[in-house]
Amino acid sequence: MTKIRSTTVLAVKHNGHVAIGADGQATMNNYVAKANVRKLRRLQEGKVVTGFAGSTADAFTLLDRFDEKLNAYGGNLKRGAIELAKDWRMDRYLRRLEAMMIAVNSNEILILSGTGDVLEPENDVAAIGSGAMYAQSAALALKKHAPHLSAEEIVRESLNIAADICIYTNHNIIIEKF
């Protein structure tokens, strides 16, 4: 998979609820360009939330195409994601786009990449971006050792831990939940 730096996006399904969050930092080369970027987008009248890592322009292109696929397949998250991944991999223009996405609804979490991957994460935790492994590790530990926490609380705490460690991740966190 493509390694995308400069952000952290995390989704967690826990105790029947799904939450997705992202930090707000945008970097250009080795400096912070903006600290309050919104990396989460609601699609399908709020029934699907996506989080992206990578080039913003590329991500918006993919979000538009993903919304079209969701519309074409009646809002079916998995089918729309698979169709987007096929186009993303095969289309001469799209395959040059440098971004990754996490897409969630009230029941599913999917990771999408330009290599044609549509992954359902193990343990109901998905992370992308430069701080992904820090956030994912924290979320897995919290799910196991603090099961009383909500999905939203696990996402918030895990992203804060990632922000403490990863220089491309900040504490300006936005979370959407189902």
Residue 71 vs residues 47, 74, 84, 125: alpha-carbon distances, Å: 12, 5, 12, 26
CA distance 89 to 177: 30
Active site residues: 7
- Say if CB 11 and CB 146 are below 8 A apart: no
Sign of CA dihedral 120, 63, 175, 45: negative
CB atoms within 10 A of CB 155: 31
Extract the runs of DSSP E, i.e. beta strands, from the chain: 8-14, 17-22, 26-28, 31-34, 40-43, 48-54, 99-104, 109-113, 118-119, 125-129, 174-177
